[in-house]
Amino acid sequence: ILNVEQSPQSLHVQEGDSTNFTCSFPSSNFYALHWYRWETAKSPEALFVMTLNGDEKKKGRISATLNTKEGYSYLYIKGSQPEDSATYLCASPTGNQFYFGTGTSLTVIP
């Protein structure tokens, strides 16, 4: 079992603010890091899959970075919008097993 941690647990930001949160994972035996977004009453959806140290991925206003040597990934949201309100989960797999963090619940206040 991998110990994956996320912080903060919850976050409230004003519309237009930029924000970021953290996922920490064991740096030994690292294979990949997945980010998912889970909106209320919907299915979690994949945002990014990252494997290489220094990797940076971007989708619209959302981007993520990866540091496999120190075992963390940052998720950034630029100019937050109310539709960004969701829980953001990260997960690290070993083989076919995925181990998730507790998630960061983001609320964007209009």
Partner 1 sequence: DAMVIQNPRYQVTQFGKPVTLSCSQTLNHNVMYWYQQKSSQAPKLLFHYYDKDFNNEADTPDNFQSRRPNTSFCFLDIRSPGLGDAAMYLCATRRGGGVLNEQFFGPGTRLTVL
Instruction: Give the footprint of partner 1 on this chain (CB under 8 A).
Output: 1, 4, 9, 31-32, 34, 36, 41-46, 49, 51, 89, 91, 93, 95-103
Spell out the alpha helix ranges (H) of 27-87: none
Minimum distance from residue 20 beta carbon to partner 1 (Å):
20
Tokens of 11: 């976050």
| C-beta closer to partner 1: residue 83 or 110 | 83
Of 18 and 97, CB closest to partner 1: 97
Neighbours of 86 (CB within 10 A): 21
Asked if residues 80 and 19 have their Cβ atoms less than 8 Å apart, the reply is yes
Q: Which residue has the tokens 């903060």?
A: 8
Between 34 and 108, whose beta carbon lies closer to partner 1? 34
